[in-house]
């Protein structure tokens, strides 16, 4: 890669060279592959390994609904965008097909040849039709007649019944028929959509489980067994599962006067966007597959033949159906510091005023965040609460506290991002709920999703206003706080809370850019600020001063950031990137990135923290943020980035970053070619799992 001049001096390397960048879609596929690999890791409980195959399916669904759909849209409208890697959408689609087909085949091999047999050894049986006992067959027939058949609508195909519009990601069957129906029609084909309201896995009653274990039956098997009941007098020559994936990205005119109503109408169309993928059972005849491809305007590259249920992601419910502790992770209790425990009885504002707090979820409890808001809702001295909401989950305690605060006469302002993908409908309902309680609700800024995680509380103390803030790397969602790793920062620091106030003013009002002293915020100062911090490390390295960068986030694809990292590496800065999923940077290129390492940690919890560390000549700067180093975060969203300044908290975060860099059990190393290798401890090395260490030393110590 390095070029030389005639006198053998290194030439300036063109950092715009597409060979220096990894395509983001192909990098995302590599992440999904690492997720699938977890299904093979025997350190995970067996049902968790099953769950990883389901998560792989869910990730794949979204990849096709959003990324593949966008590439197809660009090609259709002649708007092909070529990114830093130099690959056209047409080329990327071909590479996606080449990479994903063997990956899906591997998924079903793992499911059929490893997971199901291992579950069977432990008396968790997914029963095939030929295995049903007489009593089970009778029970299943009754279940079909009482719970399935009444809600099914078989659709014969003839001139008066054209091919139906099938909902995105639903289970369907194409049925070959022989004979004439009651009206004398001889159609030959019918479509059976499986109602979305029905569970995809049915647990048989304990008294019918002859082995004393858990007997489960796929809904698809039940429908197969009784399909003839839906076509009385006809002969079924074949019945085959299929599933269509559609474009699920919403296109909203953000200049609409009523964004909520615009979204409501657009949400209906999400179910029927253009088809982007067809999954079909391997035993489906070629002529029927060709018919389906034709109907959905798809090609062979868009076809995925699967040896098993076409909707594996819906098997997640198995974890709640099988109550076997030995097949699940052991429960744990997130820790809560003594001071924060006492603050529930005493005054949480006093505790935050005494010292800033860092919470590392899920190892440490999310409860203090909820308690802070609940205390603010009741406290007569609190006069105002401001909050951003991106994803909150059902029956959210955060939302309940905001509603209570509004009813208690507090000035509650909620900045709700209606366009949070796949949560749009929930957020529309959330906005209505808060408005009914008396809160002021805004929808952020036109053209920029509000992705910042900020809570601000204004409290009257000694005839003055005191501000308290919570700033986070993850959503205000108590469910994901148990499954995702995230940092939350509780502070009463005057400069940080004032900056937070100014960002809220900018979000809800009109005016010029609000200058901040401590916080960086996108789309205004975060991108520029990060590049300046990277460049500062490069200058220190050139002067022989200590220089190092550690970044932990979910993705890095922004070309200018990558270019700045390449230059810093060339200057001698040691750079360690802990990137969960997409990474467009190529490490280890001589003369460019030999000082950069990239690793990805995949384990029980979804790594979600965004932390940036800069050595700064022995005076480290550490930031937490809501933003990844991607174009959408740094340029097209409202994001917050906050400094962690107390030395004790700063040291703790640095130590935890070092722990992730030492992980040799669940970490994967990225090479120059874009491939990942699982790290394993050498014979003389101790096993280090960052998540296990934190679970033991934080959560289990409570």
Positions marked active-site: 451
Cα 309 from chain centroid (whole Å): 23
CA distance 670 to 578: 10
Paired tokens of 109: 């091999």
142 with 150: CB under 8 angstroms? no
Q: Do 144 and 138 contact (CB within 8 A), yes or no?
A: no
CA angle 48, 50, 56 (to 5 degrees): 100
Q: Which two tokens stand for residue 438?
A: 């008396």
How many residues belong to the chain? 702
CB 362 within 8 A of CB 482: yes
Residue 348 near residue 372 (C-beta atoms within 8 A): yes
Sign of CA dihedral 370, 373, 378, 380: positive
What is the SS3 assignment for 640?
strand
* Helix (H/G/I), strand (E/B), else coil: 643: strand
CB 377 within 8 A of CB 410: yes
Check: CB of residue 386 under 8 Å from CB of residue 411: no
Least Cα distance to 640 among 440, 491, 534 occurs for: 491
Identify which of 225, 41, 204 has the alpha carbon closest to the alpha carbon of residue 115: 41
Integer Cα distance of 608 and 347 in angstroms? 30
Whether the CB-CB separation of 104 and 173 falls below 8 Å is answered with no
Q: Alpha-carbon Rg of the chain, whole angstroms? A: 28
Residue 316 makes CB contacts below 8 A (sequence gap 6+) with: 51, 54, 58
In the chain, helix, strand, coil percent, each to 5? 40, 20, 35
Q: What DSSP character marks residue 229?
A: G
68, with CB counted inside 10 A (0-12, 13-18, 19+), is buried
Q: Which two tokens stand for residue 519?
A: 């916080």
The answer to whether the bond into 523 is cis (omega within 30° of 0) is yes
60 contacts: CB under 8 Å, gap ≥ 6: 32, 100, 104
What is residue 488's DSSP assignment? E
Q: Which of 201, 144, 193 is nearest to 172 (CA)?
A: 193
What are the E-state strand segments in 526-582?
A: 548-553, 574-579
Do residues 110 and 36 touch, judged by C-beta distance below 8 A? yes
642 vs 397: CA distance, rounded Å: 25
């Amino acid at each position: 890669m390095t070029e030389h001049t005639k006198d053998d001096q290194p030439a300036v390397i063109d950092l715009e060279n597409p060979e220096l960048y990894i395509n983001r879609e192909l990098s995302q596929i590599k992440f999904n592959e690492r997720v699938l690999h977890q299904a093979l890791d025997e350190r995970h409980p067996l049902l968790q390994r099953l769950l990883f195959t389901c998560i792989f399916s869910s990730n794949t669904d979204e990849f096709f609904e959003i990324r593949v759909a966008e590439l197809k849209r660009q090609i259709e409208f002649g708007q092909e965008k070529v990114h830093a890697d130099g690959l056209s959408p047409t080329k990327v689609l071909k590479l996606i097909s080449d990479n994903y087909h063997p990956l899906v085949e591997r998924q079903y091999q793992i499911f059929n040849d490893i997971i199901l047999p291992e579950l069977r050894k432990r008396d968790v049986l997914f029963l095939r039709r030929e295995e049903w006992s007489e009593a089970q067959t009778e029970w299943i027939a009754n279940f079909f007649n009482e719970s399935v058949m009444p809600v099914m609508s078989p659709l014969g195909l003839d001139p008066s019944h054209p091919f139906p519009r099938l909902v995105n990601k639903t289970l369907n069957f194409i049925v070959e028929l022989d004979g004439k129906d009651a009206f004398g029609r001889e159609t030959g084909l019918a479509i059976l959509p499986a109602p979305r309201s029905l569970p995809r896995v049915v647990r048989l009653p304990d008294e019918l489980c002859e082995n004393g274990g858990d007997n489960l039956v796929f809904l698809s098997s039940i429908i197969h067994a009784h399909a003839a009941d839906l076509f009385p007098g006809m002969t079924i020559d074949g019945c085959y599962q299929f599933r269509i994936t559609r474009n699920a990205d919403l296109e909203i005119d953000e200049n609409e006067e009523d964004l909520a109503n615009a979204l409501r109408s657009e949400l209906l169309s999400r179910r029927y966007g253009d088809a982007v993928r067809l999954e079909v059972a391997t035993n489906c005849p070629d002529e029927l597959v060709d018919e389906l491809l034709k109907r959905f305007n798809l090609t062979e590259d868009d076809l995925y033949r699967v040896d098993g249920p076409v909707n594996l992601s819906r098997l997640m419910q198995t974890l709640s159906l099988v109550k076997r502790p030995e097949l699940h992770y052991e429960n744990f209790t997130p820790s809560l510091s003594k001071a924060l425990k006492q603050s529930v009885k005493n005054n949480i504002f006093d505790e935050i005023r005494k010292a800033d707090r860092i919470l590392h979820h899920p190892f440490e409890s999310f409860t203090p965040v909820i308690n802070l808001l609940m205390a603010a809702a009741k406290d007569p001295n609190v006069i105002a609460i401001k909050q951003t909401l991106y994803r909150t989950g059902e029956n959210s305690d955060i939302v309940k506290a905001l509603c209570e605060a509004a009813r208690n006469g507090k000035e509650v302002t909620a900045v709700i991002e209606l366009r949070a993908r796949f949560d749009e409908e929930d957020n529309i309902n959330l906005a209505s709920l808060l408005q009914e309680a008396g809160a002021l609700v805004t929808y952020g800024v036109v053209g920029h999703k509000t992705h910042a995680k900020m809570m601000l509380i204004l409290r009257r103390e000694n005839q003055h206003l005191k501000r308290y803030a919570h700033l986070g790397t993850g959503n205000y969602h108590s469910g994901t706080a148990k499954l995702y790793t995230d940092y939350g920062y509780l502070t009463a620091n005057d400069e940080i809370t004032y900056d937070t106030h100014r960002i809220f003013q900018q979000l809800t009002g009109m005016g010029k850019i609000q200058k901040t002293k401590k916080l960086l915020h996108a789309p205004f100062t975060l991108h520029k600020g990060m590049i300046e911090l990277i460049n500062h490390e490069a200058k220190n390295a050139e002067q022989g001063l200590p220089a190092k960068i550690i970044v932990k986030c979910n993705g890095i694809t922004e070309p200018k950031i990558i270019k700045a990292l390449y230059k810093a590496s060339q200057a001698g800065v040691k750079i360690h990137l802990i990137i969960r999923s997409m990474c467009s940077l190529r490490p280890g290129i001589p003369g460019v990135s030999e000082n950069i390492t990239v690793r990805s940690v995949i384990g029980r919890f979804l790594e979600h923290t965004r932390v940036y560390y800069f050595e700064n000549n022995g005076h480290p700067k550490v930031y937490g943020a809501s933003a990844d180093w991607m174009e959408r975060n740094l340029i097209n969203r409202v994001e917050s980035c906050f400094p962690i300044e107390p030395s004790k908290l700063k040291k703790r975060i640095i130590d935890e970053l070092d722990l992730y860099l030492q992980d040799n059990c669940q970490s994967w190393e990225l090479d120059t070619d874009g491939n990942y290798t699982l790290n394993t401890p050498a014979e003389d090395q101790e096993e280090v799992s960052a998540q296990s260490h934190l679970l033991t030393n934080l959560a289990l110590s409570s």
